[in-house]
A and B are shown apart, each in its own frame.
Chain A
Amino acid sequence: MWRNFELEKSYDVVIIGAGVHGLATAYYLAANHGISKVAVVDKGYVGGGGSGRNTAILRSNYLTPEGVRFYDRSVQLYRTLAADLNFNVMFAPRGHLTLAHNDSSLRTMRWRAEVNKLQGVDSEVITPEEIKRLVPFMDVSDDTRYPIIGALYHPPGGIIRHDAVNWGYARAGDRLGVQIHQNTEVTGIRTEKGRVSGVSTNRGEIGAPIVLNCTAGWASLVSAMAGVKLPIITHPLQAAVTEPVKMFLDAVVVSGSLHVYVSQTDRGELVFGASTDPYASYSMRGSLEFTEELASHVLELMPSIAKMRVLRQWAGLCDITPDFSPIMGITEVEGFLVDVGWGTYGFKAGPAAAEAMAELVATGRTPQLIAAFDLARFAEGRLASERGAAAVGH
C-alpha cells in the first residue's frame, strides 16, 4: 500500500495533512511535475480527518461560472481516477437531486441549471412527477409541511468511496517516491527572513524550502505557526449512517430547506449529512439533537422508512471563510502555501485543487483555475462568493 519511512533531514516539499488535498497534491507533484522528494506529514492516520468523515458526494452543479468550471474539473479527474491510480474508488454517477420546496429555491435551481448548461454541465429543473420516478420513496404530495415543487437534477453527480480516494492517492504517491509520515504532528513552522525553512515535528526537524498547509479543522492554527493569519471560523458538521437495507434509493437527494442530504451506499446503508452546527467548535462529537432533526427531516421526505435505524453518528470539522470559498495559493511568507478553508465542500474539490496546487509549487505561477481564491482577496476586497450554491448543501 504505502510504506513507513524514517524522517529525512530535508525534502523539496513538505505537505501538512494526509487528507485528499495533501495526498493528491503530493501525487500530482510527482506524477505531473517529477517532484517526488515530498513528505506528507499528518498527526493522525491517512484520511482520518474530513477526507474520511464527509459523505462522499460529488457534483459540479455550482452557481458561478468559476465554481462550475472548477468543480467540473474535479468531477472529470474523479471520473478517471480509478484507472489513473489503478485503484477502484467506486465513483458511481447515480444522479444528484437538489429539492426545491418554495418559489425562491426553485428559481435558484433554474439559475444553476441555466449556468451549468452554458458551461456544458448537465443539469435540469425537473417536476415532482419526474422526481417521483427517480426516487419512488419520495413524498411529492402537496399535503406535506414543505411540499416539493421541483428539483435541480444533475445526472453526473454521485457518490464515491472516500477512503479509497485517500488510499489510492497515498498508494500511487508512494510508488512515485512520495513519503507519507503518519503520526507525525507538526509542532512548529520555521521561517528565516520572511521565507519558510522547514517544520518541527514530534519526530524531529525537517528542512524544506516549500511547506504546504493542506489541513482542515486546524488550518488556521497550523498557518499561525508560520505567522500567517487566516480568516477562518471552524464549525463541526455532523453525519450519520443507518443499518443496511436492500437498494431503494439510487440518486443522491439534497434538501436545502430541510437541511439534509442522503444517499444509499452500495452496502445498502443510508448516509446522511446536514448543515454545519451553528456554533464554532473544534469538537468532533455527535449530538442527539442532530440525529433527531435529521430523522424528522428525512421522514418528511420519505415517510415510509421510519423503521430504518441509525447505526452510527460522527462529526467532522469545517473551516468556513467569509465568502464561503476556499483559500488557495501563496501567503506573505515565501514558500509557505495554503490549500485550506474548504468549508463543507473540500472532498469534492480535492483532485482539481491538488492538481492546481502542484502546478503552483512546480512552476511558481498561480494557475488561472484557482487565481480567484487567493488569500490576498480578503485584504483587497475581491470576494469569490459561492455562497448561493455552496451553502445550500451537498
Chain B
Amino acid sequence: MISSRRRPTAMISRLGRQEGELIDRSRRLSFTFNGVEHRGFDGDTIVSALMAEGERIFSRSFKYHRPRSVLSATFHDPGCIVQVGDEPNVRAAHRRLRDGMAVEAQTGWPSLRYDVGAANQLVGRFIGAGFYYKTFIKPQRLWPTYEKVLQRFAAGGRVQASSPHGTYDKRYAHPDVLVAGGGPAGMAAALGAADAGANVILVEEEYELGGHLRFGGSEDLVALRELRDEVGAHAGIEVMTNSVVTGRYDDNWVAVLQRELPQVAERLVKARAKTLVVASGLIERPYVFEGNDLPGVMLSTAARRLVNLYAVKPGQQAVVFAANESGQAAAADLDRVGVEVLKVVDPASGGELVRALGRGQLEQVELGDGSIVDCDLLVTAVGWTAPTLLVNMAGDRPRYDERAARFVPGGALPDTVLATGGIVGDGPLQALVAHGRATGTAAAHRALGRADSIDIPELEPAPHPALFRARTHGIVDYSEDVYSKDLVAAAREGYDSVELLKRYTTATMGPSQGKLETINTVAVLAEATGRSIEETGTTVWRPPYAPISLGALAGRILEPVRYSPMQPWHDSHGAKPIVAGQWIRPEHYGDAAAEVRNVRENVGIIDVSPLGKLDLRGPDVSKLLNFVYVNKWSKLDVGSVRYGVMCGEDGVVIDDGVTGRLAADHYFMSTTSSGAQAVHEWVENWLQTSFPSWQVHVTSMVSAYASINIAGPRSRELLGRLVPDVDLSPESFSYMQVRTGTIAGVPGCHMWRIGFTGELSFEIHVPAGYGLYVWERLMSDGKDLGVGPFGLEAQRVMRLEKGHFIVGQDTDGVTQALSAGLDWLVKLDKEDFAGKPELVWQHERGDGMRLVGLQPSDTHLVPAEASQIVSPSGAIEGRITSSRFSPTIGRSICLGLVSARLAVAGTVVTVKLPDGRHVPATVMEHHAHFDPEGSRLRG
C-alpha cells in the first residue's frame, strides 16, 4: 500500500456554481490518486475531481508513453483509464467518485510525470506500424526474451489472484419497447411508446438522462427537466441509467449491462424486446493534426461537459477550432466562465488548424495563416460519428453520407428495430423530440401488433464540412498510439483495405473499439489510396458496444449438480465423493478392497442411479433396437433382457447396456451413465430424421427411478426377503431376465438379473421417491447376511476381474466394435444398422486393435492406465486401458488394446511405464481374469 500524502499546493480549477452542474457541493469526498490524497464532490467523475484540483495527466500512451489527458470526457475517453482498487481499466471520465477510492494510473514508471518509457518517443519512428513484424526476427531463439520486454509495455491495469469473485447477477426482461439511449430523442421515444400503452425500458449510458441537453444552455436545461420529469412520472417506463445496451442479437434479444447497483457490481439484463429503438446519439470525433494528443487538446463536447456538468475550468487561454455549432457553443461556455478565448477558428471562413505544440502539455497552436497562439487549451469541433453497432447487428450496413461527412444507417432495418435521434439525422431540439415521439409511438404499435400507421417526420443529417486530417500528421488511434503517418505507410506497403489496415496497425482495436477512431482511419486510408471514403468502406462494428465484465456475463455460477435419492445416506456413511459428469457419486466408503471381498463372499449394494434409462413404447421398438444396436432384437421374449452395443456411423463403439422387454410394445433400455444424454439424443435423432414413420415413444427415466445393484452370492436371499410377488428362484427367474413387482412394499419396481461385477446380482429400478427407503431396507434387512455398500471403485475392480469393458475407457474415439472383441455380438448379416458399412470393412480387413486381457509378469506391479505397449523398436503396439490389483485373485490385472497380430493368448508384450521402465505382460485367453465361465453370474 502506498501511504497517502496531502498534495502541498493545487491549482484549483473549480468554477462557481453552474446551472446544470451534477456535483453536490455539500458532500465532499476524499480519495487518493497514486497515493496522494485528493478531494472532490459527490457527483464528480474521478477525472473531474482530479482536474478540479489541477491534475491534468491521467495516463501514459501505449507505445510512446506520451502523457494523456481528457479528450472526450466520456466513458470512451482513451486517456482516462485507471486502476481503482483491484479493478483494472476503470473509465475515469465516466466513473463517479466514491469516498475512499484508491485510484492509480495504470501506465508510467516511475511516475506519470517522469516516465522512463517516454524514451520510446526518441526512437518513435522505429516503433511505427508493423515495427514488431520486421524486427526481432533473428536470432529466433531470442524472441521470447524480446517478448518479455515488450510485454512490459502492455496497456491496461492489474488483476490480482486474491481478488474476490464479487457479486453479479442477471435478470430477464420482456419489454414491449426497449429504447437504447436516453438523450432527448430517446426520452421522447420512450414517452411516445409508453403513451401508446407499451411497457418500456429506457437505457442510458450516463448516470442521468438527458444526453447533450445536460451540458446545453438554460433552454436546453428547461427542456431536459420537462422531459425527465415526464419520463420519471410515467408508470410505463423503467429507466436504467449508468447502463448500456451492449448488443442486439437475433429476434431482438437485447443485452443490457447495468453498473454499480446496490449489492451487485454489475447486472446483465437480457431483454426480449418486441421492438428496439436505437437512439444512441452521436459521438464527437477528434481531428488529426500534429500534437493532437497533447494534454490541453480536447473535443468541444468535452470542454462543455467539464464546464457545465462538473464546474471545472479546463484551461486559462483557449483556441477553438469550430466547424459546427458545438464548437461555437463551447467557445461561448468558455468565455462565460472566464477562460480567455483567444481565437475561434472557423474552417468555413478559411480558418485552418496546423499543429499543436508543447512539451508534455499544450503551449502553442499554429494556425493556417502562420500565426502562433500561446494557449493551454485547444478545443476542436470537426464533426460526428454515428455509433451504428445496434443497427448493424440487426442486419443494416452503414452508408457514407458525403454531405454530412459521416456514416449513417443504410436503411435496411427489420420491422422490429427503429432508430431515432442523432444516429438518424440532425435538427433543432423540437425536431429530435418530434421524431423520437413518433418513432416511439410507431415502435409501440408494432410491438402491440396494431396496424395504425404513424407519420414519422423527416430527420436528415445536416451538411457538415468533411474535416478529418489537417495538413500535418497526428494521432488517429489514441489507445493504440497509431499516427496517420503509420496508416499511410501501411497502405503503401499493401495493407490497403480497411480490414487489413486495422489488423496491421491495430488502429481501432483498443478499448474504445473505433468509436473515436474508425472514421479517421477510413479517411486517412482513402486519402492515401486516392479512393473516396465511400469506396474505402468501413469496418464491421463487433459486439459488445461497451466492454462487459466476465463477472456480469457469468452472473451467479449455477452449474447444476445431480445427486441420487440415496445421497443423504452416502453422506452420512463416510462415502468419498467423486465427480462423474454432472453427478456426484460415492467412490468408496473407506476401503474399496474390503467392499470387493464382501461382494464376492456375501452381498453388496451399489447406487447406480445415474445409469441412463429410456422407456421405449410402441409397435416399432424392435425395429429401432435392431437399428441402433449391432446385434439382433427381433426375437426378444417378453420378460427377457439382452445386452447390446451401439456404434456410430463410423463403426466406433459409443455405448452399451441392456434392454429388457416388459410387454409386447414396451421396452426398458439402460445405457452407460456418462452416455445417458447422448444416447437419448442419438435415438431421437434417428427416429426424427431417418425413421419418422416408426411408432416409438422415447422417455428418459434417469430421474424417475433410483437404481441399485444387489450383487453377491447372497443377493437372492436378500432381495427375496423384500419381494413378495416375484419368484426369484433360478428356475423361474434366470439370468438375463426381467420382472416387475413389489420391493419392500413399493410396487412397480423393475428387477433385472444381470451383473457387471460377475456375481449373481439383481439390478433394481425403484420409483425415485422410494429409493432411499428401499436402500435403507436392503441395509437393515440384510444385516445378518453381511450386506454392505460398495462404491464405484469396487465396481471397477470387479468388472475388470470379470473382463467387462467400459465404453470410453477400454474403447476410445476410434475403437470399432470388432476391436472391442465384439465379433460374437456384431451381426453383419442384419439388413442394416448404424455403423454396419464400416464394420463390414473392418471385418474384411481384419486389422485394427484388439481388446485383450493382460497380466503383468510381476504380479504386484500395476501399470498405470495409458501405459503404452511398444515393440522392440519403440513403435506403439497398443496400450493398457484398465489396470488394478485384484484382491480376489491376488495379482495385478489389465485390459488393453493391442495390435491384432499380438492378440493371441500367451503372447508376451512389453509395457512402457510412464516412468520409462519396460515390463513384460502376457496376453490372456479371456478378458475375464476371474470366473471366465460365468458360473457365479448364472448361479
Contact = CB atoms under 8 A, between A and B. Distances in A.
A167 B549 contact: no
Contacts of B674: 104
B121 interface: no
A113 to B, nearest CB: 7
B797 to A, nearest CB: 14
A173 to B, nearest CB: 12
A267 B154 contact: yes
A182 B134 CA distance: 23
Contacts, number: 263
Interface in B521-548: 542-544, 547-548
B249 A266 contact: no
A322 B835 CA distance: 12
Contact of A304 (B151, B165, B808): B165
Contacts of A65: 876
Contacts of A86: 137
A385 B813 contact: yes
Nearest to B541: A312
Interface string A1-32: 11110000000000000000000000000000
Interface in A204-252: 242-248
Interface in A274-328: 285-288, 291-292, 294-296, 298-300, 303-314, 322-324
Nearest to A388: B813
Contacts of B555: 292, 296
B547 A82 contact: no
Interface in B236-271: 247, 249-250, 253, 255, 265, 268, 270
Contact of A383 (B139, B542, B554, B650): B650
A303 B551 CA distance: 9
A379 B528 CA distance: 53
A300 B557 contact: yes
Contact of A310 (B168, B497, B548, B840): B548
A136 interface: yes
A307 B88 contact: yes
Contacts of B168: 306
B504 interface: yes
Interface residues of A, number: 94
A212 to B, nearest CB: 23
B154 A244 contact: yes
B134 A88 contact: yes
B350 interface: no
Interface stretch (A45-53, A345-353, A365-373): A45-53
A137 interface: yes
Contacts of B652: 385
Contacts of B132: 88, 90
Contact of B579 (A102, A107, A285, A300): A102
A305 B159 CA distance: 6
B431 interface: no
Contacts of A324: 813
Contacts of A4: 494
Contact of A88 (B137, B495, B544, B868): B137
Contact of B550 (A79, A308, A323): A308
Interface in B448-473: none
B733 interface: no
Contacts of A305: 159, 163, 550
Contact of A307 (B255, B551, B580): B551
Given A146-B579, A242-B550, A92 B147 contact: yes
Contacts of A382: 841
Given A83-B137, A90-B132, A245-B156, A163 B143 contact: no
Given A104-B809, A110-B865, A292 B135 contact: no
Given A80-B140, A102-B580, A306-B165, A266 B550 contact: no
A285 B542 CA distance: 9
A268 B155 contact: yes
Nearest to B135: A88
Contacts of A118: 868, 870, 874, 876, 912
A2 B147 CA distance: 27
A82 B914 contact: no
Contacts of B864: 110
Given A110-B865, A145-B561, A312 B134 contact: no
Interface in A77-120: 79-80, 82-83, 86-93, 101-104, 107-108, 110-111, 113-115, 118
A167 B504 contact: yes
A296 B553 contact: yes
Given A137-B159, A167-B133, A307-B87, A299 B809 contact: no
B866 interface: yes
B140 A309 contact: no
Contacts of A192: none
B123 interface: no
B500 A90 contact: no
27 contacts: A1-B493, A1-B495, A82-B143, A86-B137, A88-B137, A92-B147, A107-B866, A114-B868, A243-B547, A266-B150, A266-B151, A267-B506, A285-B393, A287-B249, A294-B553, A299-B554, A304-B164, A306-B168, A306-B554, A309-B550, A310-B548, A312-B543, A322-B649, A380-B841, A381-B837, A383-B650, A387-B813
Interface of B: 86-89, 132-140, 143-144, 147, 150-151, 154-166, 168, 247, 249-250, 253, 255, 265, 268, 270, 393, 493-495, 497, 499-500, 503-504, 506, 511, 513, 542-544, 547-555, 557, 559, 561, 578-581, 649-650, 652, 674, 808-809, 812-814, 837-838, 840-842, 864-868, 870, 874, 876, 879, 912, 914
Given A110-B864, A286-B543, 19 more contacts: A1-B493, A44-B499, A46-B500, A88-B135, A90-B147, A114-B879, A146-B559, A167-B504, A243-B88, A245-B89, A267-B154, A267-B155, A291-B544, A295-B554, A296-B555, A307-B159, A310-B548, A311-B511, A381-B841
Closest 8 interchain pairs by CB?
A: A381-B841, A1-B494, A268-B154, A306-B551, A244-B156, A309-B547, A295-B553, A387-B813
